[in-house]
């Protein structure tokens, strides 16, 4: 499997016009490869979704612990507008604003 802008052998000076999804995938591959000391291409050949789930879970736990130690909010990981859009796209309903005083 090769990504847009890359060939099996050869030099690519710049990857242009990446979608947000592709950017996220590149960042995830880079982060996992750095953590476990392997090349991103090795991940593509050997890793599966369980490996990625473990990495993401541990990264989130480490981030949460770091924020707790610094006294920062641990509930600000999600943008409320994004969550509302996601809810509406999944359910087909507009979310109810249930803010409690």
pLDDT digits (tens, 9 = 90+) for 36-47: 999 999 998 999
Does residue 1 have a pLDDT over 50?
A: no
* DSSP letter (8 states) at residue 95: P
- Is 98 among the domain residues? no
CB 84 within 8 A of CB 90: no
- Is 6 among the domain residues? no
Does residue 24 have a pLDDT over 80?
A: yes
Does residue 34 have a pLDDT over 90?
A: yes
> How sure is the predictor about 9, in pLDDT bands with cuts at 50, 70 and 90?
very low
Residue 83: domain span: 20-91
- Is 15 among the domain residues? no
pLDDT score recorded for residue 99:
64
Kindly provide the b/e burial profile for residues 46-77, where b requires at least 16 CB atoms within 10 angstroms of the residue's own CB.
Answer: ebeeeeeeebeeeeeeeeeeeeeeeeeeeeee
- Is 87 among the domain residues? yes
- Is 7 among the domain residues? no
- Is 36 among the domain residues? yes
Count of domains forming the chain: 1
- Is 14 among the domain residues? no
d(CA 58, CA 45): 22
C-alpha Rg value of the chain to the nearest Å:
18
* DSSP letter (8 states) at residue 9: S
Q: Which of 13-17, 50-54, 68-72, 73-77 has the lowest mean pLDDT?
A: 13-17
- Is 74 among the domain residues? yes
- Residue 33: count other Cβ atoms within 10 Å of its Cβ: 17
């Amino acid at each position: 499997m090769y990504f847009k802008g890359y060939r099996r052998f050869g030099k690519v000076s710049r990857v242009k016009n990446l979608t947000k999804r592709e950017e996220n995938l590149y960042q995830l591959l880079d982060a996992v490869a750095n953590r476990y000391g392997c090349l991103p291409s090795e991940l593509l050949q050997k890793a599966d979704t369980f490996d990625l789930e473990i990495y993401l879970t541990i990264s989130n736990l480490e981030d949460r612990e770091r924020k707790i130690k610094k006294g920062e909010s641990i509930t600000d990981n999600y943008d409320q507008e994004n969550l509302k859009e996601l809810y509406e796209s999944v359910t087909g309903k507009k979310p109810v604003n249930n803010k409690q005083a």
